[in-house]
Amino acid sequence: MRVRARGEDWRREVERGAEEILQALSRSLEALPAEEETYYLPEFPRALREDGKPSSEGERAAFRKRLLSLAPSRDEEGNLRSEAAGWAR
Amino acid sequence: MGTLGKLQALRSGELSAVENLERFLERIEKMNRELNAFLQLNPRAREEAEEVDRRIGRGEGGRLSGLVVAVKSNINVLGLRATCASRTLEDYVSTYDAEVITRIRREGGVVVGMTNMDEFACGSSGESSAFGPTGNPSAPGYIPGGSSSGSAAAVAAGLCDLALGTDTGGSIRNPASHCGVAGLKPTYGLVPRHGLIDLGMSLDQIGPLAPDVHGLSLLMECIAGKNPGEGMMLEVERVSYELEGDVGGMRIGVCPQFSFLTDPRINEVVERKVERLRELGAEVEEVSIPHLEHALSAYYLIVSVEFFSATRRYDGRKYGKRIEEVCGEEVLRRIAMGSYISRKEYRGKYYQRALQLRTLIRKEFSSAFRRVEVLVGPTVPKLPHRLGQKLSPLEMYAYDYLTVPANLAGICAGVVKAGEVGGIPVGIQVQGPPLGEEKILRVMRALEAGA
Amino acid sequence: MKIGFEVHLQLRTERKLYCDCPTNYAEVPPNTNVCPICTGMPGAKPMRPNRAAVEAAVEISLMLGCRVQTGKPLYIQRKHYDYPDLPSGYQRTSLPLALEGSLEGVRIREVHLEEDPGQYDPVSGSVDFNRSGIPLVEIVTEPDLRSPEEARRFLRSLIRVLEYTGKVRPEAGGAMRVDVNVSLEGGGRVEVKNINSVKGTYRALKFELQRQAERLRRGERVSRETRAYLESQMITVPMRTKELEEDYRYIPDPDLPPVLLEEEWVEEVRGRMVEPPHLRERRLVEKYGLPPASARVITGERELADLFERVAREVNPLFAADWFRTKLKKVLNYMGLRAGEVGFSAEQLLSLLKMVEGGRISPEQGELVLRELAREPADPEEILLRMGLLPLGRGELEELVERVMEENREAVRDYLAGREEALNFLTGRVVRASGGRANPREAVGLLREKLEELRGKGQTS
Ligand SMILES: [Zn+2]
């Protein structure tokens, strides 16, 4: 079982390790011929979605309940509660 | 009894969906403590099986007619926990059904529970789950492989009929190989991803794991095909596969780069199978994927950037916890790598180079598939390590050497058991061109039948 | 002073940009118009972009004279930043759909299609995702504006263009977001966010102008930074650097295919496009000889300009323009109506204008009828009848004139003694006694006639 050491040191260690791994990985790509970049695999149809009647209210109401029950904090009107912004204080 | 036999029994009423479910639940009860294949069982499974029995009675059992399906914990099933085996989402109860789940329900499948996995699918051993490692029922004491460790183990241990896994760089094929079951990574864009929790969006595909090739085919026929609205899907309505075709005369490719860094014992098992295909009348030809060795680097760079992007929503404000605060080491490492290389100043050096290499790999595969119909070779270059043995990150990544190319190229690839080395299963990988699923399933079926 | 804008305005569609949730976010309780997609649930994938939104953005681009990027893949980018209103930790924004337009001498750099974040109250911390995923058009200008006044005027013109398409939500409804960058000679570029009205923009700019000028005068540096506008206090404050990730780490969204704008489709949109207001304004001046101020008012809303051009075919355009600018605009403002919301028809307005132009009723009566027309649309003839405003018959007027002369003998004597101004006094009395129904011109004529008649008789008596 893995030991969960969760200090700042551990975090920094992992991040430093990440950079080393990146160097190792990118070395392998340096000498390769330049090519176009492939973001997307096959040629997907570029069709857009038609505007139209929105989703049903019942479906959304059921989802709303689940959304609110998952939220760490919420108010009686149904807003989620998050932190206040620093600049607004 | 194979998948088709089971289906026959269910349809004829010889076995009810409820009985089928209960047999599995009993086995799970006995074996899961040891295996840790399931993280959660579906409390409504019995009701769902009863409903399927009523449907079968009306002759509306669907393609699955009460077959029991295990689901990897990165796929949303309404009301169950899609934790991704992470503390980040340990309290996240799915708010909706993934599209594949909707389809499985429609076809009369019964979801039995959510399976263990590497945390956020970042791993190839099945050890990085926040809820403990998964065992390998086919090779006790060894890793089951990953990241779909629980799904492969559940199939191997007979805890379900079929299972859903996901494959970003080998996450279905790798544990299928180590656990000795069949698995398929479909062509990118063939199976809807809505509801699949992201690792690398341009690489991820949901796919089936099963005890046999018929099981793979059956589950594919249920889940594949386009989902209106979903952006990255091919124009394929539904699929249907004929598996019993002859492989005689088929042009089958082998590739020197596949065996180059692979354990000779594994190569030997694979070569015996290639020989078998030749005996069945296939023409075996050598083709080359010259830049194969660079695929691994490109893969890890791309997947890190996409994973970094995908994890930005885990901010702890809407559900779950802030990912960086609770995740395990490999997840944190990938976020750190993704964050680093997506920085403006490094884009050219890492991300763009990786995307260029992806183009190269795609081209090389597509030229190989102009000469041969499918490629066969090993799945994982090494035998699995013992559970708990410590590997460096790069050693761990090396497991994916032979599986990531298919994801980079967007092609399909399947695995079926080829043999054993010292009692440890070894799978043979069959790769095909985009939408070449029927061809690879046929070859896999021929290999399985001739075992 | 150099000022440039990034203006975001919501597009009017039925469904959101990447999901099928409805868009009437202001009319429903918090977190009602939401689904897994627009709340960033794990695993949710966006749907393809809403065509109506893409079309609206293209139409706006064309109206601003931009070059639409046809025939090449336009990637939808993920722009990453961490903020409570952003459910996925990134906002989707398209590569420019169009480049290099201009509006009233200000260069438009590019036009993008974006999705709106949710609504976040930075003070209380409450978050509502009803707005999350509403399509936005983003217009980026070059820093071509020189003063807060110029900026305000430009912003109004820009909004007018957008509202002309009929495909954006009205700015007044809070559907607008403005980021403004402002720099003074010798100072760094300051970006101000969190502005959501024209008035707010003007105030923020005034404040920045003063603040930056003051610093420079004292020999202090104005550093490059991002500030937030606080509506309640009409000031700007620095945003903490932690709250703005400077590197958005743009990547093409792997979940969405790039948008491809076909040349042919864009030309179709151009064919359907309405005439842009700034061009229409110029045309009204040239074609009808209107004073520029009237043309600006009339083109303020598309429906107002349409109404004008309809009536200008049958009444004198200058007369009509004057009516539009003074009376019609006044009545609409008073009733809080937009031209697009009026219930009366162009024909009804036209028939009213004809009555006034032909002298059947006075301009003052006309205004009364107009007010009634806006309140409860009907045929103006009917309104006249209903309000008792039908012009007096000859006989009625004669009776009135005689009565007024009888009651104001002194004024009559004055007139007869050669004091012309007495006639004005008597006319006023007649109009007043008629309750406004008497046409002053007719009353004057009849009065003079009767008085002269009296003068003739008086010689004999
Ligand atoms: Zn939605």
Q: Which residues of B fall within a CB distance of 8 Å from C255?
A: 193, 201, 231-232
A35 to chain B: which residues are within 8 Å by CB? 356-357, 359-360, 363
Q: Does A50 touch chain B (CB under 8 A)?
A: no
Neighbours of C316 (CB within 10 A): 13
Active site residue B72: yes
* H-type alpha helices, B280-352: 292-310, 323-326, 329-341
Amino acid at the residue B322: R
State which H helix or E strand residue B253 sits in. Answer: strand B251-254
Smallest CA-to-CA distance from B128 within B111, B150, B159 is with B150
- Topology of domain B3-223, CATH: Amidase signature (AS) enzymes (3.90.1300)
Handedness of CA C296, C298, C301, C305 (dihedral sign): negative
What does CATH list as the number for C394-457? 1.10.10.410
Q: Taking CB atoms and an 8 Å limit, are C41 and B96 in contact across chains? A: yes
ipTM at complex level: 0.94
Segment-wise mean pLDDT, segments of 10 residues, chain B, 451 residues: 93 95 97 96 97 95 96 97 97 96 97 98 96 97 96 98 98 98 97 97 97 97 93 92 89 94 95 95 95 93 95 95 93 94 79 89 95 97 94 93 96 97 96 96 92 55
Q: Is B8 on the interface with C (CB under 8 A)?
A: no
Nearest CA in chain C to A78: C30
Other beta carbons within 10 angstroms of residue B141's beta carbon come to 11
> Shortest CB distance from B319 goes to which of A11, A15, A70?
A70
Contact B243, B441 (CB under 8 A): yes
The whole-number average pLDDT for the span A62-66 is: 95
Indicate the residue of B76, B95, B342 with minimum beta-carbon distance to C249: B342
In angstroms, the CA B441 to CA B178 distance is 19
C23 has pLDDT over 80: yes
* Identified catalytic residue from B6, B16, B72, B148: B72
Cis peptide before B259 (omega within 30 of 0): no
CA distance B93 to chain A (A): 8
Put simply, the answer to whether B231 touches C47 (Cβ < 8 Å) is yes
Q: Which residues of C touch B89 (CB under 8 A)?
A: 42
In this structure, what are the phi and psi dihedrals at residue C328, rounded to the nearest 5 degrees? -60, -45
CA distance B73 to B117: 7
For C74-106, the pLDDT digits (tens) are 899 999 988 899 999 999 999 999 999 999 889
CB contact under 8 A, B231 and A38: no
Give B151 Cα–ligand 1 centroid separation in angstroms: 31
Show residues of chain B in contact with C89, CB under 8 Å.
309, 311-313, 315
Name every residue whose Cβ is closer than 8 Å to that of residue B196 and which is 6 or more positions away in sequence.
B74, B75, B76, B98, B100, B166, B204, B206, C43
Q: Please, are residues C199 and C156 in contact by the beta-carbon 8 Å criterion? A: no
For residue B138, the cross-strand partners are: none
The domain locations on chain B are 3-223, 251-289+363-449, 295-350
- Residue C389: pLDDT band with limits 50, 70, 90: low
Show me where the domains of chain C are located: 2-268, 275-386, 394-457
Choosing from B128, B138, B148, B171, the catalytic residue is B171
Mean of the per-residue pLDDT values of chain C: 86
Element (H, E) at B377: strand B374-378
Instruction: For the beta carbon of residue B238, count every other beta carbon within 10 angstroms.
Output: 12
Distance of CA C28 to the CA centre of its chain: 26
For residue B183, the 8-state DSSP code is E
Single-letter amino acid, residue C440: P
User: Dihedral sign, CA of B119, B120, B121, B123?
Assistant: negative
B450 CB-near residues (< 8 Å, 6+ apart): B276, B280
Q: Which B residues, 78 through 97, put their C-beta within 8 Å of a C-beta on chain A? A: 91-93, 95-96
Return the HEC string of chain C: CEEEEEEEEEECCCECCCCCCECCHHHCCCCCCCCCCCCCCCCCCCECCEHHHHHHHHHHHHHCCCEECCCCCECEEEEECCCCCCCCCEEEEECCCEEEEEECCEEEEEEEEEECCCEECCCCCEEEHHHCCCEEEEEEECCCECCHHHHHHHHHHHHHHHHHCCCECCHHHCCEEEEEEEECCCCCCEEEEEECCHHHHHHHHHHHHHHHHHHHHCCCCCCCEEEEEECCCCEEEECCHHHCCCCCCCEECCCCCCECCCHHHHHHHHHHCCCCHHHHHHHHHHHHCCCHHHHHHHCCCHHHHHHHHHHCCCCCHHHHHHHHHHHHHHHHHHHCCCHHHCCCCHHHHHHHHHHHHCCCCCHHHHHHHHHHHHHCCCCHHHHHHHCCCCCCCHHHHHHHHHHHHHHCHHHHHHHHCCCCHHHHHHHHHHHHHCCCCCCHHHHHHHHHHHHHHHHHHHHHC
**Residues facing B207 on adjacent strands:** B165
B412-421 and C126-128 strand pairing: unpaired
pLDDT of amino acid A1:
35
Assign C460 a pLDDT band (cuts: 50, 70, 90).
very low
pLDDT on residue A41: 56
A-contacting chains (≥3 CB pairs under 8 Å): B, C
Does B232 contact C90 at a Cβ distance shorter than 8 Å? Answer: no
pLDDT for position C76: 92
The CATH architecture annotation of domain B251-289+363-449 reads: 3-Layer(aba) Sandwich (3.40)
B74 inside 8 A of chain C by CB: yes
C442–chain A nearest CA distance, Å: 60
Cβ-based neighbours of C267, under 8 Å, separated by 6 or more: none
Residue C91's φ and ψ, nearest 5 degrees, are -115, 140
What is the C-alpha separation between C335 and C329, in angstroms, rounded?
10
Alpha-carbon torsion (C305, C311, C317, C318), positive or negative:
negative
- Range with the poorest average pLDDT among B18-27, B159-168, C22-31, C230-239: C230-239
- Catalytic, B259? Answer no
Q: How confident is the model at residue C255 (pLDDT cuts 50, 70, 90)?
A: very high
Residues 6+ apart with CB under 8 A from B262: B378, B381, B382, B402
B-chain CB neighbours of C51 within 8 Å are: none
Residue B94's nearest CA partner among B111, B113, B81, B112 is: B81
**8 Å CB contact of B337 and A22:** yes
Any CB–CB contact under 8 A between B21 and chain C?
A: no
Residues 252-271 of C with CB under 8 A from B: 254-257
Question: Cβ contacts (< 8 Å) between B195 and chain C: which residues?
Answer: 43-45
Q: Which pLDDT band holds residue C225 (cuts at 50, 70, 90)?
A: confident
Q: Is the dihedral of CA C61, C103, C207, C190 positive or negative?
A: positive
